[in-house]
Amino acid sequence: MQFTINDRPVEVEVDLRTSLLDLLRENLGLTGSKKGCNQGACGACTVLVEGERINSCLALAVQYQGRSITTVEGLSDAEGLHPLQRAFIEHDGFQCGYCTPGQLCSAVAMADEMARGIPSHVTGDLTAETIALDHDELRERMSGNLCRCGAYNGIVAAIAETYASAPARQEEAA
């Protein structure tokens, strides 16, 4: 099977039953993406396929042949950490860190979805051309990423600082 992973071509022979998550972790040594629930409930395995976020645990690797996949290892570049990664450090957007790679990938793709005007469950006016990433939009759009430590305050603050059109509320409750 052939893929482009973090901008590099990859060719690998694996069993058809291999999930994209297991391919990344077990066959390619990219252990940034985490196996939390392994059933699409927690978001720790979130990666980007051509920029769109998916749960790699629910994806059969074979179905993603030829596609371009970005993991948390691909977010930083020669210049250093991604701005969102720096914001997570600044705002203590984690405790144990297990959900963090998924949170980061998910938020990067969420920002792109906002830029494309994709609505959410809490969007008031579905016909609006642009949607502001306010407090409610941010939390709704990140609801597919759980944090068992409850570091949501810092996570929301870091994402808001990086992407939001309005600052997140300071009194944020987990």
Partner 1 sequence: MTPFSYARADDVPGAIALAVATPDAKYLGGGTNLVDLMRETIERPAALVDVTGLSREITVGADGGVVIGAGVTNTALAADRTIRTHYPMLSRAILAGASAQIRNVATVGGNLLQRTRCGYFYDDAARCNKREPGAGCDAIDGFNRIHAILGASPSCVATHPSDMCVALAALDAQVRVAGPDGERTIALVDLHRLPGGSPERDTVLDPGELVVAVELPALPFAAHSTYRKVRDRASYAFALISVAAGIELENGAIKDVRIALGGVAHKPWRAFKAEAALRGQAPSEANVRAAAELELADAAGLRDNGFKIELAKRAIVATLAELSGEQA
**Footprint of partner 1 (CB under 8 A):** 16-17, 19, 38-40, 43, 46, 52-55, 58-60, 62-63, 106, 109-110, 113, 116-121, 123, 126-127, 139-141, 143-145
User: Shortest gap between Cβ of 79 and partner 1 (angstroms)?
Assistant: 28
DSSP per position, the chain:
-EEEETTEEEE----TT-BHHHIIIIIS--TTS--SSSSSSS-TTEEEETTEEEEGGGSBGGGGTT-EEE-GGGT-BTTBS-HHHHHHHHTT--SS-TTHHHHHHHHHHHHHHHHTT---TT-S-TT-S-----HHHHHHHTTT---TT-THHHHHHHHHHHH-SSPPPTT---
User: Shortest gap between Cβ of 154 and partner 1 (angstroms)?
Assistant: 19
Distance of alpha carbon 79 from its chain centroid, rounded? 21
HSE, side-chain direction, 13 A CA sphere, residue 139: 14
Of 89 and 132, nearer to partner 1 (C-beta) is 132
Of 76 and 143, nearer to partner 1 (C-beta) is 143
Of 60 and 89, nearer to partner 1 (C-beta) is 60
User: Shortest gap between Cβ of 137 and partner 1 (angstroms)?
Assistant: 11
User: Shortest gap between Cβ of 67 and partner 1 (angstroms)?
Assistant: 11
User: Shortest gap between Cβ of 78 and partner 1 (angstroms)?
Assistant: 29
Of 8 and 121, nearer to partner 1 (C-beta) is 121
Of 110 and 151, nearer to partner 1 (C-beta) is 110
